[in-house]
Amino acid sequence: MNIRTRFAPSPTGQVHIGNIRTAIYNWLYARHTGGKFLLRLEDTDRDRSTPESVQEIFDSMEWLGLSFDEEPVYQSKRLAAHMEAAEYLLSCGAAFKEDKGGRGQGEVVVFRMPGKDVGFDDIIRGPMRKSGKDLPDFVIVRSDGSPVFHLANVVDDIHMNVTHIIRGDDHIENTFRHIALYRALGSKPPEFAHLPMIVNEHGKPYSKRDGAAFVGDFREKGFIPEALLNYLVLLGWSPGDDREILSREEMIGLFELSRVQSAAAQMDFRKLAWMNGEYLRKLSVETVAEKCRNVLKARGLWDQSIQEGYYLRVIELMRERMKVFTDIHDSGAFFFTEDYPFDEKAVRKRLGKDGAMEKLKAVRDRFAALEDFDERSTEVELREVADEFNANAGEFIHPVRVAVSGLPGGPGLFEMLEALGKERVIRRIDRALDRFETLKSPDEL
RNA sequence: GUCCCCAUCGUCUAGUGGCCUAGGACAUCGGGUUUUCAUCCCGAAAACACGGGUUCGACUCCCGUUGGGGACGCCA
């Protein structure tokens, strides 16, 4: 069989993470079976559908590498076919006109359910059945003459020769009606596979109110598309063994609809971050550098005068501990500006201690006297000072780190100092000495 | 309310009657490496919702209970 799947979003806003996962599974299944993956824009809601949203869908799919086959179908252009189908159903008695009165004006077309039980074998859930008495007739054409979702959906899927409908399980109920429609239209119903939903930490459907609900959010936050794809694929499906980091080719090769989970899944952002870090560390320094540059530009930290050599060195130092590209800003801003923030707790703990300022001053003076200011010399020097004070190197290292970076952690201190350069390091220590001089008790911050 | 669906560690999952004293990953905690953070290595704690069956034997099959979700539109 020539397998054809489709992703049928309605372009009414940003692309939701749950929707894109549906797209991913459709795409995977088509690619796995050597079939076609189609796209249909269900843009019949004229009030809410926008060209921007359509673009948003294209962008999101491209970003994640979800390539589709054939020309996308715009449902709004299929009106004639929908009406033709309605006429046909009317003509053969499978539908009838009715004036429902009340709020509506004029007649609607109602589809006559056969009154028999309807069942199907869901690829993921197994056998499904619904009693005929629980399947009432339903409207397929509104009184204003426009087709209702059920009609348009089925007619278009028939038109596109969709063989496997993979969609959210909130459509299970619709499926019984759709199957009746297929049959009335003289078409063999396709296979169905209903995916569980993605829920929030309260077990409720994951909605826009939960934050980071859209593909664009992850893109902005500096996630790597392959990592997000990998994470999402595993949210509801597993290859059956312990593999987790999967390349595009691997997931395509391994994907099976029958292995999709039937229970709802919850996003775990920490695991996503971990996975992103795994992918990030596999990228070349140059690639990371470019992505980080975009972040820095977007956040106003990029300066044309930044030397390429310096910049690449910084990326080298930072990328080991980065999880997402925006970390270059969140924990590396001090490499790019003198106006870097100080972590309160770190200042209190490392500079607020008795004697900390004296030690910092001592190191500062020794650093200032250094001819060659590099990783090696600064380390030798600092350790010497520590010996003279009869103290642990840590009592000097920490204050220097906080003074120079404002942070409790970061790259190895001495390589960081070398990258920053003597002049900047001395200046920063001086400023810290001045600024935190009066720091006597922890409350004074 | 009616109908449908779901149920393994905190989270994502492996498990299709004996291989399970239930495996992996993230997160957590402890230890090692690192003068710090991260990486890395080692280790710990952590789950079959409950009750009945079926069976020589149930996480696995059946029924019920509970809990959760979904659908009941001239929305999609």
Q: Span A116-138, mean pLDDT?
A: 91
CATH number at residue A311: 1.10.8
Last residue of a domain, one of A265, A282, A299: A282
Tens digits of per-residue pLDDT, A341-357? Answer: 888 888 888 887 777 88
CB A398 within 8 A of CB A347: no
Tens digits of per-residue pLDDT, A66-123? Answer: 999 999 999 999 999 999 999 999 999 999 988 876 555 688 999 999 888 999 999 9
- Answer yes or no: is A101 CB < 7 A from strand B: yes
- Answer yes or no: is A13 CB < 7 A from strand B: no
**What average pLDDT does chain A have?**
90
- Answer yes or no: is A11 CB < 7 A from strand B: no
pLDDT confidence band for A187 (50 / 70 / 90): very high
> What is d(CA A164, CA A63) in angstroms, rounded to the nearest whole number?
25
- Looking at the fold, whether A428 and A348 belong to one and the same domain comes out as yes
> What is d(CA A419, CA A425) in angstroms, rounded to the nearest whole number?
10
DSSP string, A161-204: T--EEEEEGGGHHHHHHHHHHHHHTT----EEEEEPPEE-TTSS
- As a rounded value in angstroms, the CA-to-C1' distance for A221 and B37 is 22
> What is d(CA A183, CA A150) in angstroms, rounded to the nearest whole number?
14
Q: Quote the number of domains for chain A.
A: 3
**What residues have CB less than 8 Å from A308, skipping those under 6 apart?**
none
Packed helices A17-33 and A225-234: angle between N→C axes, nearest 10 degrees: 80
- Answer yes or no: is A45 CB < 7 A from strand B: yes
Among chain A residues 245 through 264, which have CB within 7 angstroms of nucleic chain B?
Answer: 259, 261-264
Q: Span A329-343, mean pLDDT?
A: 90
> What is d(CA A21, CA A167) in angstroms, rounded to the nearest whole number?
10
- Pick out the nucleotide with least CA–C1' distance to A99: B74
Residue carrying the six token digits 């959210």 = A168
pLDDT confidence band for A445 (50 / 70 / 90): very low
- Looking at the fold, whether A374 and A437 belong to one and the same domain comes out as yes
- Answer yes or no: is A144 CB < 7 A from strand B: yes
Q: Which candidate in A97, A133, A204, A208 is catalytic? A: A208
- Answer yes or no: is A417 CB < 7 A from strand B: no
- Looking at the fold, whether A255 and A299 belong to one and the same domain comes out as no
Residue A227 lies in a domain: yes
Q: Span A361-366, mean pLDDT?
A: 91
pLDDT confidence band for A439 (50 / 70 / 90): low
- Answer yes or no: is A320 CB < 7 A from strand B: yes
CATH number at residue A36: 3.40.50.620
Q: Which helix (H) or strand (E) holds A358?
A: helix A356-368
- Looking at the fold, whether A234 and A379 belong to one and the same domain comes out as no
One-letter amino acid for residue A301 of the chain: L
CB A254 within 8 A of CB A214: no
Quick check: ipTM above 0.90?
yes
> What is d(CA A108, CA A272) in angstroms, rounded to the nearest whole number?
48
CB A198 within 8 A of CB A42: no
> What is d(CA A329, CA A298) in angstroms, rounded to the nearest whole number?
10
- Pick out the nucleotide with least CA–C1' distance to A281: B39
Among chain A residues 263 through 302, which have CB within 7 angstroms of nucleic chain B?
Answer: 263-268, 270-271, 274, 277, 281
- Looking at the fold, whether A327 and A406 belong to one and the same domain comes out as no
CATH number at residue A399: 1.10.10.350
Tens digits of per-residue pLDDT, A288-300? Answer: 999 999 999 988 8
Q: Span A237-245, mean pLDDT?
A: 91
- As a rounded value in angstroms, the CA-to-C1' distance for A209 and B23 is 36
Last residue of a domain, one of A335, A359, A375: A335
A225: which 2 tokens?
A: 């598309």
- Answer yes or no: is A124 CB < 7 A from strand B: no
Q: Which residue is nearest to nucleotide B69 (CA to C1')?
A: A204
Strand A138-141: give its sheet, edge to edge.
A95-98, A108-111, A138-141
- Pick out the nucleotide with least CA–C1' distance to A198: B69
Residue A1 lies in a domain: yes
Last residue of a domain, one of A313, A335, A357: A335
Residue A169 lies in a domain: no
Query: String of b and e for A313-331 (b: at least 16 CB within 10 Å)?
Result: bbbebbbeebbbbbbbbeb
> What is d(CA A110, CA A89) in angstroms, rounded to the nearest whole number?
10
The residue count for chain A: 445
Does residue A313 carry a pLDDT above 60?
Answer: yes
Q: For residue A411, what are the domain limits? A: 344-444
- Pick out the nucleotide with least CA–C1' distance to A194: B5
A372: which 2 tokens?
A: 């060659």
Cα distances from A306 to residues A170, A253, A296, A328, A338, in angstroms, run 52, 45, 12, 15, 13
- Looking at the fold, whether A264 and A297 belong to one and the same domain comes out as no
- Answer yes or no: is A207 CB < 7 A from strand B: no
Predicted pLDDT at A241: 87
Give strand ranges (E) for A88-125: 95-98, 108-111, 118-122
Does residue A48 carry a pLDDT above 90?
Answer: no
Does residue A441 carry a pLDDT above 80?
Answer: no
Tens digits of per-residue pLDDT, A364-373? Answer: 999 998 888 9
- Looking at the fold, whether A440 and A348 belong to one and the same domain comes out as yes
Helix, strand or coil, per DSSP, at residue A39: strand
Cα distances from A380 to residues A201, A372, A393, A409, A430, in angstroms, run 51, 12, 11, 21, 21
- Answer yes or no: is A104 CB < 7 A from strand B: yes
Residue A232 lies in a domain: yes
One-letter amino acid for residue A257 of the chain: L
Residue A308 lies in a domain: yes
Residue A301 lies in a domain: yes
Does residue A29 carry a pLDDT above 90?
Answer: yes
Q: Of A443, A340, A444, nearest to A401 (Cα)?
A: A340
- Looking at the fold, whether A440 and A367 belong to one and the same domain comes out as yes
A401: which 2 tokens?
A: 């780190």
Phi, psi of A31 (to 5 degrees): -65, -40
Region class of A203: left (phi > 0), else alpha (psi between -120 and 50), else beta: left
pLDDT confidence band for A4 (50 / 70 / 90): very high
- Answer yes or no: is A409 CB < 7 A from strand B: yes
- As a rounded value in angstroms, the CA-to-C1' distance for A242 and B20 is 17
Q: Protein footprint on strand B: which nucleotides are under 7 Å from a CB?
A: 2-8, 10-15, 23-27, 34-39, 68-76
Predicted pLDDT at A91: 95
Q: How far is CA A34 from the centre of its chain?
A: 26
Q: Of A277, A265, A263, nearest to A228 (Cα)?
A: A277
- Looking at the fold, whether A308 and A277 belong to one and the same domain comes out as no
* Residue A208 annotated in active site: yes
- Looking at the fold, whether A232 and A295 belong to one and the same domain comes out as no
Predicted pLDDT at A444: 45
CB A359 within 8 A of CB A389: yes
Q: Of A46, A42, A50, A2, nearest to A22 (Cα)?
A: A42
CB A120 within 8 A of CB A128: yes
- Looking at the fold, whether A408 and A430 belong to one and the same domain comes out as yes
Does residue A234 carry a pLDDT above 60?
Answer: yes
pLDDT confidence band for A442 (50 / 70 / 90): very low
- As a rounded value in angstroms, the CA-to-C1' distance for A250 and B7 is 30
- Pick out the nucleotide with least CA–C1' distance to A103: B74
Predicted pLDDT at A209: 72
Region class of A53: left (phi > 0), else alpha (psi between -120 and 50), else beta: alpha
Q: Span A416-424, mean pLDDT?
A: 92
- Looking at the fold, whether A300 and A351 belong to one and the same domain comes out as no
Does residue A324 carry a pLDDT above 80?
Answer: yes
- Pick out the nucleotide with least CA–C1' distance to A43: B76
- Pick out the nucleotide with least CA–C1' distance to A102: B74
Does residue A19 carry a pLDDT above 70?
Answer: yes
Residue A173 lies in a domain: no
